[in-house]
A and B are shown apart, each in its own frame.
Chain A
Amino acid sequence: MKRRVTQVAVTAGALLLLAVASRVPYGPGAAGAAELRLSWRARSAQIEACRRRTAEELARLPVHMRQELVCERGVAPYRLVVTVDDDTLVDRTVAAAGARRDRPLYVFETIPLAPGTYRLRVVFTRQVAVAPERSGVEDGRSAPAHLELTRSVTLSSGRAVLVTYDENARRLDLVITH
C-alpha cells in the first residue's frame, strides 16, 4: 500500500515538474526599457568615377586593351546621423549592401533608451554628389539625396519606436504604436 502511494506521488510529482518546466515565467526585456529602431532599405544613385590612363599605363597594356578612359561604377553611400536630445548616438557611413557593394543600402540600428520624451533627429545624406550630366542615373526609384526627420518622440515602457523610410512618399517616417 505504502509503495502504491509513493508510486502515485512520485509519478504525479514528475508530471507536475514536466508541466511546470514547460511554462516557466520569464521576462526577457528588462521592465522599464524601451527601444529606438531604425530600419529601412533605400536605393541610392549610381555613381561613376572616371579617369584617363597615363601614356605609360597605356603602353604597358596589350594593344587591344588600350582604352584611355576607365570608369568604375558603384552606388553612392549615405551618411547616417542620429541625435537624441543633444547626444549623437550614431554617425556613420552607410555603404551599399552585398559582397560586390551593388545592392540597395540598408539601415538597421536598435538603440535601447529609457522610456521618456526625447528630441529625435535622424539625418540621412548622400555622400557623393552625382554629376548633373549623369542625373539620369538618379531615377525616380532612388532615395533623395537628403532625408531628415526631426521630432519629439515619447517612448513608453516596453515599446519600440521605429524610424523607417517610406519609399512611395520618399521621406523618413516614425512608427509608434500604443
Chain B
Amino acid sequence: MAALQRAIGRVLARLDAGCNRLYGWRFNPLYHSGAIAAVLFLVLLVTGLYLLIFYRIGSPYESVVRISADPWLGRWIRGVHRYASDAAVVAILVHAFRLFAQGRSWGPRALAWMTGVILLFTVLLCGWTGYVMVWDVQAQVIAELGARLFDVVPLFAEPISRAFVGERPLPAAFFFLNLFLHIALPIGLGLLVWVHVSRVARPALVPPRGLLWGVTALLTALAFLWPAPVAPAADLLRLPTAAPYDVFYAFWVPLARAAPVGAVWALTVLAWSVALLVPLWSRPPLARRPLPSVVDARHCTGCEQCALDCPYDAITMYQRQDGRGGLVAQVTPALCVSCGICTASCAPMRVGPAQRTGRDQLAAVRAFAARTRPGPTDVVVIGCERGAAATDSLDGAPVFRATCAGSVHTSVIEFLVRSGAGGVLVASCPPRDCWSREGPKWLEQRLFHDREAELQARVDRRRVRVVYAGAGERAVLHDALTAYRRDVAALERAAGEGEIDLVSECETAEARP
C-alpha cells in the first residue's frame, strides 16, 4: 500500500509542478479538485433543470434530439451538462488519488474517505441513469447490462431483462423511474457532500474565482465548439451497433459484456469494498501512528486560538472546572489528525501532539542552531517534510524539518534570527496542497498579519521569507534560496556600510586626550 501511495504521489508531484508552472499555485486545478467537483455539481444542477423542462418520458430519444437541434440554448446546455459530468469524474478521481497518495484516508479522515467512495459510486450511478434517459444505442446497452446484473438478485418473479428483448415497447413507467432516480440521486449527493465535509473546519467548497469561472467558461466553450453527440436511437430488436460511448461512465461496459454476470458482480463488490476499506489498508502500523494533540490544561490561558485554528474542529473550549474561572481547551483525540497546527497557535506553547509542542520545537531548534552555527550571511531553511524541503541540507543551507510549515511556532523562527542567521526561509507546500489543510494560510498570517501566536514585531521581517514549493518543486525552492541568499547578502552589506559601531566610536572618543 505504501509503495502504491508513493508511486501515485510521485506522478502527482510532477503533474502539480507542471500545473504550478503553467497556472501558478493559486489556480492549479489539481489542488482544487474537490472544490471543482463541488462546483461542477452545481453546474450540473442548473443545466439539468433546464434540460428537464424539455425532456419527455413518453418520447425520450426524440425529446433529446429536439433539445440538441436547438442551436441557441438546447445544444449548448446539453453539451455543458455532458462535459461537466465528465469533468466531475476526472475531478473526483484526482481528488481521491491525491488524498490517497498523501495518506489522508484513515483515522479521523475515514468518514470523509468512506463517504467520498459512496459519492463516487453515486455519481457513476447518476451518470448511468442520465445516459439511459437519452435512449440511444449506448443507453440500450447499459440498460440491458444493468438488467442482466440485477437479474441474479431474486427480486422479481421474472428477469428484468425480458423487458429489453423487444416483445413490446418499454413502458413509460421505466423512463419515469429512471428520471426519478436521476433526480433523486443528486439530492442524495448533496446530503452526502454535507456529511463528507462535516469533519473539516471551513471546507473549501468553492475554488478561487478565477478557477471557478475559468472551468465553467472552458466547458461552455467546448460545448459550443463540439456539441455533445447524438447516437442512433435504441432499437430493442437490433443488436447494438457501433456508437460513441462515454468512457467516464461506460468504462465498464466492454468487461461487463464479456464476463459472466457472477464475475462482474464479484469484481464490482470487490473493487468497491477495497476502495471503501482504504482507511484500514492505508493506516500506518500502530507504533508509527502520530499521537493526537494534548492540552496542558494547567497552563492554558483559554485564549481560544487553537480552537479557532484547528483545521479539523478537534478542539473545544470548556468552562474551567478547577475553580479558576475562564475557559480551557480540550482536544477530542478521535477528531485529531495530529497535524500540529495548534502547536503554532499557542503563544504559551501549551498544546500540541506529544514531542511536537512549541517547547519541543524550541529544544530542537536550539540543538539545530548549536550544530549548524548560522552566520549573518547564511540562510537556514525551515522545511515541511512533505514538500520540496524534505531533506537535511539544501545547496549547503541547513534544513530544520517540520511535519508542517504551519506547525512551526513563530518562536522557532525568532530564535534562528536571534541566534545569528542572516535569513530564515520557510519552505511550505502551496496552500491548497497542505496535508494539514490550513498550515500555509495560518503561517502567513502569523508571520505577516499578526495572527496569534504572531512573530514578534522585534523580528526584522526582511530576515524571514516564505516560499511555496510542492514535493516536485525542488527547482522552485532552489531558485528561491539563491534569490534570498542574494538579498540577505545585500542586506548584510547595507548593514555593514550604514551601521556605526557606537561602542568603538565612544571608546575612541573617551580615549582621546
Interfacial residues, chain A to chain B (CB-CB below 8 A):
3, 6-7, 10-11, 15, 18-19, 21-29, 33-35, 37, 39-41, 97-99, 103, 106, 108, 110, 158-160, 162, 164, 175, 177
Contacts and interface: CB of A to CB of B under 8 A. Distances in A.
Given A41-B158, A106-B158, A159-B237, A24 B167 contact: no
Contacts of B157: 97-99, 103, 106
22 contacts: A3-B21, A15-B221, A19-B83, A19-B226, A21-B247, A21-B248, A22-B246, A24-B245, A25-B244, A26-B242, A26-B254, A27-B242, A27-B243, A33-B239, A34-B239, A39-B162, A39-B167, A97-B157, A106-B159, A108-B162, A160-B165, A162-B237
B23 A7 contact: yes
Interface string B80-100: 001100110010000000000
Contacts of B236: 160
A11 B165 CA distance: 44
Interface in B49-101: 82-83, 86-87, 90
B457 interface: no
Contact of A37 (B83, B165, B241): B165
A60 B464 CA distance: 99
Nearest to B236: A160
B242 A25 contact: yes
B228 interface: yes
A41 B221 CA distance: 51
A123 B472 CA distance: 71
A4 B22 CA distance: 8
A19 B167 CA distance: 36
A103 B235 CA distance: 29
Contacts of A35: 239
B222 interface: yes
A25 B247 CA distance: 10
B166 interface: yes
B239 A29 contact: yes
A164 B166 CA distance: 10
A158 B140 CA distance: 14
B218 interface: yes
Nearest to A30: B239
B243 A29 contact: no
Interface in B143-184: 154, 157-159, 161-162, 165-167
B247 to A, nearest CB: 4
A122 to B, nearest CB: 15
Contacts of B166: 37, 160, 162, 175
B86 A18 contact: yes
Contact of A159 (B83, B162, B238): B238
A28 B229 CA distance: 18
B252 to A, nearest CB: 12
- 9 closest A-B pairs by CB: A27-B242, A29-B239, A23-B244, A97-B157, A98-B157, A21-B247, A39-B165, A103-B157, A26-B245
Interface string B208-240: 000000000011011000101100000111111
B141 interface: yes
A103 to B, nearest CB: 4
Contacts of B257: 28
A160 B237 CA distance: 5
A175 B166 CA distance: 9
B139 to A, nearest CB: 12
A23 B222 CA distance: 14
A99 B253 CA distance: 31
A24 B241 contact: no
A28 B253 contact: yes
